[in-house]
Structure 1
Amino acid sequence: MKVFFLKKIRPLSLIERQGLIYMQIIRTLHNPLRSLTLSYSNADMDGKEVMKSTLMTRFEDLYELIEPSINMMIHHEQLYLRGSRLPDHPINEAIDDYIASKNNAKIIDEVYRDRLGKGMSVSRMETYNKCPFQYYLKYGLRIYPRIDDSLKPTELGSLAHYIMEKCLDDPEHVHEHAFDYIHDHLEKKYQANMINKFFIDHLVEDMKVNVRVVRNQLDHDSFTVTGYEQPIQGLFGDIPVGGIIDRVDCFEHYMRIIDYKSGDKDLNLDFAAQGFNIQMLVYLDLLKKETKLDPGAILYYSMKRRILTHAIDKKYTLHSAFDLDKYHAQFTMKGYVIDDEKYTVTNACDIASIPINLKKDGTPDKHSHIISQEKLDFIMELITNYITELYEKLRAGNIPILPTKSDNNNPSIYPCTFCDYKSVCLFDVFYNENRLIKSKYLSTLKEEEANEQL
């Protein structure tokens, strides 16, 4: 499934808003439901009366609507105008208890804390960093979403990773390797659902292109592959972690690690210093300790289908012949190159495949993603301190309902968007808060350090 975030250029008109509502209603009515309950407000948040939607009139024309007899206390008075209070009413005590429970952090009893896990994977730590309560439900209580026959993004991602592992050295047999994996892991879903079959078949065809592109990238640089799906484990600070690196390349005394992604992903150093998207940085640190090699690059290769453009006619269809040389630059990886002023690592890489643009004098421009070893060490120190403190909170059983949110509304930081547990935590916008993540964190630290020196 591909998700697109659309930037709204202008407010929607009344007719456009009604059109979207109509579409949602049509989708709902086409579901095989025994009954459907409709509700609407008689007043807005300020207590002003609002008119009943014309949609209700249309429903009354199409269906026989039955007003249910609900055995519950409904207050017709405007609670928000009274601070959610009714004079001399027992509801006030219930509201006070609710507010107190929302404002207090939940601490797991010490006898149960071992169930939270001791040796944390990086992905688990990132989940706790995003939302402690989501972590607790998923890894503490082990509550998982219901499994159905639909394909999950993780399943497609595992297939794509398997093809990369097996076929970079055997590019002529992508189809055979892919269907060996499908037979062993996805056969039931592949045969039972034509939509699943469509997505899997197209993914295999896309991966044939990706294998050709990655092999071409390797042919144009001085790095050589030294490991696929390489396991790594060790201590990050005092925390035991481990994982798998998709690919490790080496050149002289430099190492380069590459992560294959089924979607778009980049390394944001400001967010990394606050514990987000740190998995590859942690693996790089562990590999450095294990091999004694110098970090050269941390890169993300996106395996998703590109909409390719021709430099002249600006057209490329899904049925066009793929010209590897012409479209090679469309597959530039994201991430960072770690280099000094000699640019040894940069020049050893296929320049078209790394996120660096060279000027006429051979030096990178200001938009290039290149950092020094000194800056990388500084960021790793920040991450180590941050994760150590985070881990101590986790082991103390601190599980507040406190999802994160970035100050620039970056969707990758907000964990509630696709959370499977939204109906459980009952996050209340009136009483709960988000933990704010700074999009300019490193520059803020630099300014604070400069002010301290004055």
Structure 2
Amino acid sequence: MQNYLTKNLFAIDVNNSNDKFETNQIKLIEFPKIQDEIRYVANKIKYLVLEKGTVFDDINIAVNGLDDYKHEIQKIFNEYSLPFYLDTSRSLMEHYFSRTLFKIADFICGQKSISNAISIIQSPLFIIDNNKKLDFENYCKKYNVLSDEFYKKFETENTELCKNAEEVRCFVFDQIKELEGHIFACLTVTEIKTVLLNYLSVINAKNIIDTLSQKEVDLIEKQIGFEVYGKFEKVLYEADAIIGENLVSVQGFFDMLKSCMHGTNLTTVPLKCDAIFIGDASQSTYYPRKALFIMGATQNRMPNYSSDSGTITDAEIAILKSNNNVSPTIKELNKREKFKLFNLVVLPSQKLEITYSTLIKGQTEFKSEFISAIQSIVTTNGMAIQVEKSDMMELKIFNNNAPLLVPYLVGTTQNAVKLAKGKFSNLKNILEQQFKKVLENETKKFADDMSRYQITNIREKLFKNNKTKISQIERYFKCPFLQFVDYAIKPKDNPKFEIKSIDVGNILHEVAQMYVNNCIKNGYKFSDNENLIVNDIFDKIIRSEKYFNFSKNAYALKNLKEEAIRFCNAIKNQILSSDFKPVYTEKRFDDYTIGNGLTISGIIDRVDKLSLKNGDGKSSSISNYLRIIDYKTGKDKFTYQDVYYGIKLQLLVYMKAISELDNSIAVATGYMPIKNKFVDVFDEEFETYKIDGITLKNDGMILRLDKNLVYNKKSNIINVEFKKEGGYTSNTEKFILDEREFLNIQKYALLVLNGAVNEIMQSFIQPKPFKEGNSYPCTTCKYKSICHYQIDVNGYRKLDSIHKGDVCKEIE
């Protein structure tokens, strides 16, 4: 095989059938994704070792585009218990020592920002208690520490926070200040080198790196750690030897040093004698072995051609009027890549398998021209060799609840059938010896998984004093485990002094509350200076201690104040346009019974009321009608899907609770969105803040909810629009409900709420997230590090599209 490929691969004329090579030692295989491609290679290696007696050291793997494959290779090969050496050279600049050094360089050259300072103190080079690092970070954000303030003592307050922050500042930045003073007095490379090495000696950089490297579990990382400081010193001394006496600026010195360190690699050698060698097809050095697997053999990767573009193209080189040759040209570089490939494929003596995936990193890939070259000169069973299309079917014995037996057998259905027929005796013996042990382990693991979520005192932990909250039940429907952690374990984040989206929402909630209370106090009479009133309310709120972190951020304050004014103008428009007037803000209700012996409490952002006399006006009885409004930041919108699946129940449960407790009739509920969006057109601004929810289908009530509908076809405060010819538009019909539907959807919300409580009482707290479109709650979940839920293994709950009728019919 080697001799034939050497003579004929990329030869000019191979059309003569007599020149073709008959072999079964070469295979070409296509896969749908790289995980299948890697798993196939792992399976094949397992087979070669167990059945053919091949040693791991006799196997090479060349990967085209190793960076896209290496993480999956490590994961799958470890799963298969395969010993391997991954030849991934690493730039000196990738080590934490280099990154810290240049963060310090940026700092002394003028980039004295909070983020840069925090990056520096987080470096492993500075042995500091993590809590003190966090206090330093919070102090800097709280007081907006900038520039040379890092070189001055922190003494703003007499607190533990300030003392810890000052301790960190003194330990790190007093030395950096001294470095800055000395280094800017230097004129030459030699002088800067001397100052820099002296600073690194003072902070004990080399010993710290060596100590941390000694503690590394990964042998390659340990080896790299021991190599770092020596390589850095070598770069520094070489620069000194070449341009030591040259005049240079501090910034110019560090730019030069960074460039040199980028080009310096940290090299490693294989740490196991008998290991599979895995490298980059274009960059690694390979030696002859029995078997070679070439992966990622696609058009854009194999060979790794360069495009003829850049500062000067080959065509432009050809017309240069110069006696000096410009080399290498793109054509020469591509010839070198092709030659590297030629040298690679003639190395194996017994087996050559070339594989590729049709989808890599979301991009569709096609087979390499090299595969076509192989097909033109190689035959199998008298026919031109074909590309096999493989669909890996992994052998599973415990459905989705257990790992595969791939560390012990060639894990495909096809090979399992061969085992059943008595072939592969060595492998079969291993399977017989291991199967009982694996079965026992899996049974124990399954039992442990089940017991992991069994809690005996669930009511006491999750429903203390027989109380619950709507937010707890909504959290349960997002994921039972998420609800359990939040309401039973109750972990707390370390406080951070920074502007958060929740702070923005809380500030605007408080502004709205105080503004509406002012409207109630003034009998819903408005002056010409409403914006000044909002401005004063905003300033009063922002001066409070809990929003201190906003005080130094003028840009954020300006935008937030503008949003507060727009939001309150929209509230004013709602009050003027409706017969329903605000009567409560932050209305609290307690001990509303929901079943299972539990009660709920809640706070409603705003309750609007309309009182009407009954009968002909002579009767003294009065009926009260309510509209429930919840202020919402973000992208929350009312959907029947959220109600159906229990993800958003608050509006409906609160509406039912307050109407019963207040002895009133609820006719509407919805979210009033808090946007941060400037709109030029006055009417469109109100449209932006339209209440999004459901309304009772009662023409009289709808005209009182928005009096302007008497003259206009479309409301700018509620989701209602009339057709020109009369009647409601189809979109309006989705969100107006007749009396039966309006009552049923409230009953449904309580039914779902009680169902969730029953499930929680039965200790159903296993992770079970949902999928909506391409979105998973797991993606942003802060507890995924303790949950370890695998969506690709354990699945998810799929949320189907739900309409008004789907919810209402559930209660009938």
Q: Is the 8 A contact 1:213 1:331 kept in 2?
A: yes
725, 741, 750: which one aligns with 1:384: 750
Change (3 A) 1:332 1:184: same
Partner of 2:731: 367
State whether residues 102 and 432 of structure 1, in contact with CA within 8 Å, keep that contact through their aligned partners in structure 2.
Answer: no
Alpha-carbon distance in 2 for matches of 1:254, 1:447: 26
Gapped regions of structure 1 (runs ≥ 5): 1-39, 309-321
> Counterpart of 2:795?
433
What secondary structure is seen at the aligned counterpart in 2 of 1:354? coil
2:762 counterpart of 1:404: no
Task: State whether residues 217 and 353 of structure 1, in contact with CA within 8 Å, keep that contact through their aligned partners in structure 2.
Answer: yes
Shift of 1:422: 0.7
TM-score by length of 2: 0.43
* Cα displacement (A) at 1:82: 5.9
- Shift of residue 379 of structure 1? 1.8
Cα deviations by residue, 1:218-262 (Å, 9 ceiling, x for unpaired): 112221111111112343532311111111112233211111112
For residues 273 and 307 of structure 1, the distance between their equivalents in structure 2, rounded to whole angstroms, comes to: 34
| Alpha-carbon displacement from aligned partner over 1:300-340 (angstroms, at most 9, x marks no partner) | 111112353xxxxxxxxxxxxx5534643333221111123
C-alpha spacing 1:122/1:449, structure 2 compared with 1 (3 Å): closer
Distance in structure 1 (CA, Å) of the matches to 2:807 and 2:602: 31
Q: Equivalences for 1:251-400 in 2 at 5 Å? A: 251=610, 252=612, 253-306=624-677, 308=679, 322=680, 324-325=682-683, 327-340=685-698, 343-350=699-706, 351-368=715-732, 369-400=735-766
- Please list the CA deviations of residues 389-433 of structure 1 after superposition, one character each: whole Å capped at 9, or x if unmatched: 211222333211212334x45x4xx43232110111000235423
- Aligned counterpart for 2:588 among listed residues 231, 241, 252: 231
Alignment of 1:196-235 (within 5 A): 198-235=555-592
Contact 1:42 1:52 (C-alpha < 8 Å) held by counterparts: no
Q: Is the 8 A contact 2:578 2:705 kept in 1?
A: yes
Deviation for aligned residue 1:188: 3.5
The structure that has the greater radius of gyration is 2
1:126-166 per-residue CA deviation (whole Å, 9 max, x = no partner) reads 11122111111111011133332222322211111000011
More helix by share: 2
- Cα distance, 1:182–1:98 mapped onto 2, change above 3 Å: farther
**Which among 538, 541, 549 is matched to residue 178 of structure 1?**
538
2:605 counterpart residue number: 246
Q: 1:120 deviation in Å?
A: 0.5
Shift of 1:41: 8.8
CA–CA distance in 2 between the matches of 1:390 and 1:447?
19
Q: 1:427 and 1:263, CA in 2 relative to 1: closer, same or farther beyond 3 A?
A: same
CA spacing shift, 1:51–1:444, aligned 2, 3 Å: farther
Whether the 8 Å CA contact 2:538–2:564 is kept in 1: the answer is: no
Mapped partners of 1:80, 1:100: distance in 2: 27
Q: How does 1:102-121 map to 2 (within 5 A)?
A: 102=449, 106-110=453-457, 113-117=459-463, 118-121=466-469
Assess if the C-alpha contact under 8 Å between 2:644 and 2:807 holds in 1: no
**Secondary structure of residue in 2 paired with 1:357:** coil
The alpha carbon displacement at 1:448 in A equals 9.4
Match of 1:163 among 477, 489, 511: 511
Is 2:655–2:666's contact at 8 Å kept on the other side of the alignment?
yes
Count of aligned pairs: 385
* Structure 1 residue 387: Cα displacement: 1.4
Secondary structure of the structure 1 residue equivalent to 2:220: coil
- What are the within-5 Å matches in structure 2 for residues 33-72 of structure 1? 44-47=38-41, 50-53=63-66, 60-61=90-91, 63=93, 67-68=220-221
Change (3 A) 1:429 1:417: closer
Q: Could you say if the C-alpha distance between residues 261 and 64 of structure 1 is closer, same or farther in structure 2, counting changes exceeding 3 Å?
A: closer
Q: How do 1:123-138 and structure 2 match up within 5 A?
A: 123-138=471-486
Separation (CA, whole Å) in 1 of partners of 2:65 and 2:583: 67
Render the CA deviation track for 1:353-399: whole Å, top value 9, x for unaligned. Answer: 11111112442111112111211222222222221121122233321
* Change in CA separation of 1:52 and 1:272 when aligned onto 2, cut-off 3 Å: same
Moved more, 155-164 or 264-273: 264-273
CA distance in 1, matches of 2:487, 2:684: 47
Verify the 8 A CA contact 1:113 1:397 in the aligned structure 2: no
Mapped to 1, the partners of 2:36 and 2:92 lie a distance apart of 22
Superposition deviation, residue 96 in structure 1: 5.2
CA-to-partner distance for each residue in 1:103-124, whole Å, 9 max, x for gaps? Answer: 77822123x6402123101001
| 2:467 match: secondary structure | coil
Specify the SS of the correspondent of 1:367: helix
What is the CA-CA distance between 1:212 and the residue it aligns to?
Answer: 1.1
Partner secondary structure for residue 417 of structure 1: helix
How much does 1:69 deviate? 5.9
Work out the CA distance in 2 between the residues paired with 1:41 and 1:149: 43
Tell me if the contact between 1:42 and 1:51 (Cα under 8 Å) persists in the aligned partners. Answer: no
CA contact (8 A) 2:644 2:802 kept: no
Per the alignment, do residues 446 and 166 of structure 1 end up closer, same or farther by CA in structure 2, a change over 3 Å counting?
closer
Partners of 1:186 and 1:228 in 2: how far apart? 21
**Structure 1 residue 442 displacement after superposition:** 5.9
Amino acid of the residue matched to residue 786 of structure 2? V
Distance 1:346 1:387 in 2: 29
Question: Relative to structure 1, is the Cα distance of residues 43 and 213 closer, same or farther in structure 2, using a 3 angstrom cutoff?
Answer: same
- 1:54 to partner: Cα distance: 5.7
SS in 2 for 1:356: coil
Q: Give me the whole-angstrom Cα distance separating, in 2, the residues matched to 1:221 and 1:445.
A: 29
Residue type of the alignment partner of 1:157:
G
Residues 1:126 and 1:42: Cα distance change in structure 2 (over 3 Å): closer
**How much does 1:59 deviate?**
6.8
Q: Which amino acid aligns with 1:108?
A: I
2:267 matched to which residue of 1? none
Given residue 686 of structure 2, which amino acid in structure 1 is its aligned partner?
H
The percent identity for this pair of structures is 20
| Shift in CA distance, 445/325, structure 1 to aligned 2, threshold 3 Å | closer
Q: Which has the higher contact order (CA 8 A, sep 6+)?
A: 1
**Change over 3 Å in CA distance of 1:176–1:94 after alignment to 2:** farther
Q: Report what 1:25 is aligned to.
A: none
Identify unmatched segments of 5+ residues in structure 2: 1-33, 43-60, 71-86, 96-218, 224-270, 277-391, 397-403, 409-430, 520-529, 613-623, 707-714
TM-score (norm 1): 0.74
